[in-house]
Amino acid sequence: MVRETQERAVAHLDTIIWLLQNAQEFQDLEGLDKWTSDLGKRMGVRITYIHNGRVLADSSVPFPRLPSLEDHSARPEVVAANEGKLGVDQRDSPTLEKEMIYAARLAPAIAGLPSGVLRVAAPLSQVWKRSATLHKRFMVIFGLTLAASVLLSLLLSRRISKSVRIFSNMARAISKGEFSRRVGPIPGGEFRDLAETINHMAESIESHIALIENQRGQLAAVFESMSDGVMVLDEQGRIEVANRTLGEMFPNVAQLMGKTPIEALRDMEVQHAVDVMRTSPEDREKLTLRTKTADGRPVEVECASIAAPSGSDRNARQLFFLFRDLSSFQRNEKILKDFLTNASHQLKTPLTSIRGFSETLLEAPPADPDKARNFLGRILDNANRMASIINGLLQLARSERPLARTEVEPVSVSRVLQSVLESLAFPIQEKDLHIHQDVDPDIMVQAVRTDLEMVFTNLMENAVRNSPRGGRIVLRAKSSGDLVETTVADDGPGVDPMIRDRIFEPFFRANANPVGGDSGSGLGLAICRKSLERLGGKIKLAPGRIETQGAAFVVILPTPS
């Protein structure tokens, strides 16, 4: 405001100089004084004309008093004007006793006046008055603004506080596992992005937790269904986790969780392995040992170190133990060894016979053609027997192959049995056997036709082989819920109770005659059992005799779904 007053004084000064340049010549100094007084009243400023320090005219001082005014040549604005500059100064006027702003310029000799300094003075009292007025207004405005700001701040703080409480409650709910909670509508839009982000985070956490729970359930199911025993020790070497199989091997484990292996398993070998793994260098990652279960079964134990959970001592390690029951491996190894021994024996016997008869024919051929034909017949019989054994082995191997879904179809039991009877018509007629059928043509099973024909062919061949001349074979099929039971019974000698549990083993024969006679290869019933298990069925020996005096085998298969 002061600067504006100063600029206005300079503008007035320039205007007055312009007016003097265009004014008529003054007759005397009193006329000049009257002109400056009239113009000063109109412009609201004090106009002074100074010549050599002497005031010739002043709009604020009566003309008679001018001679009494002090010399103005030392005034700062006058000094600057005399130097040809724009003189400006701000000070109290001793004449008017007011604070004034002065602006002065050097005026040429115009309008009949000698050259001098024209000075304009504007009072600052109006500036201070306006300043005081503005100050009051500003204070009022500031007070109102402050009050409005406080009120608005309270309103905003309440709304923000409410939003913060909502977010706090949401975070507290998530920390408690309530992942289904969501942030509801938020008042105002400043937290909308945050609310959407938190809701998305909660949804993501809920999805991840569900996935983790699902995976944990799957891992727990796998863990509990493992055929091997599993034990996990914590960083202190105490049992942290053990599965069901380990509890079956060592019954005390379930009651002694959190104890050391020596306390739970009563096994020094395992405890020694724990001590070695815990004190060994970090590069030792695995250890294997042999021990026994509580009931004496041989067990192979593998111990491995795993990283401890984050946040724990970096040198601390957890231990993972896997207990593998070797009794089943030893049993399977024995079965395989027996199988190979039996297979070798079954093949070696007819091969030896073929070799013997062949050498006899080559070295000392009999002169009698009938005797030579008998030798060749023996060779052919043994060759056929070897072919039968090899085919049986191939069928047994095929029965171990996984079954494709497209191979299984609804099969008529009646048609399969009829096909088998037609293929065995000659031996049945040769022994004059009577076939009694009680099979509903509408009975269907879910199976592979070729496999089912092979099963019934083996059973019928056994029945024909074991039945006496003129005997009877009974075929019966009946539905029982979603299963079909088909019985094949004969009038043969039956099955000795002492060997009932072994008749389905490969190469087992009740009447072991490896060279001649009607003895089979011992693979037929084993192939039947494997094939039916592959089809989702089973075969069993009837517990008692039914209508016949011999053996009765029951084939059980599911009906089509």
Q: 73-124, pLDDT tens digit by residue?
A: 888 988 898 888 888 888 887 776 778 888 999 988 877 788 889 999 888 7
Q: Give the pLDDT of residue 142.
A: 92
DSSP type of residue 254 = G
Q: Buried (b) or exposed (e) across 19-28, using 16+ Cβ within 10 A?
A: ebeebeebee
Neighbours of 80 (CB within 10 A): 20
Enumerate domains of the chain plus CATH numbers.
2-123 (3.30.450.20), 226-325 (3.30.450.20), 330-398 (1.10.287.130), 400-558 (3.30.565.10)
* CA 185 – CA 201 distance, rounded (Å): 16
Number of helices followed by number of strands (H, E) in the chain: 14, 17
pLDDT digits (tens, 9 = 90+) for 433-468: 999 999 998 999 998 888 888 889 889 988 998 889
* CA 488 from centre of chain: 56
Angstrom CA distances, 15 to 6, 22, 47, 121, 491, stand at 14, 11, 12, 14, 151
Q: Give the pLDDT of residue 345.
A: 64
Q: Give the pLDDT of residue 417.
A: 93
Beta-strand runs (E) in 270-376: 286-292, 298-307, 317-325
Name residues of the chain where pLDDT drops below 70. 96, 184-190, 280-285, 307-316, 332, 335-336, 338-339, 341-343, 345-346, 388, 392-406, 507-522, 543-549
* CA 37 – CA 102 distance, rounded (Å): 17
* CA 485 – CA 551 distance, rounded (Å): 16
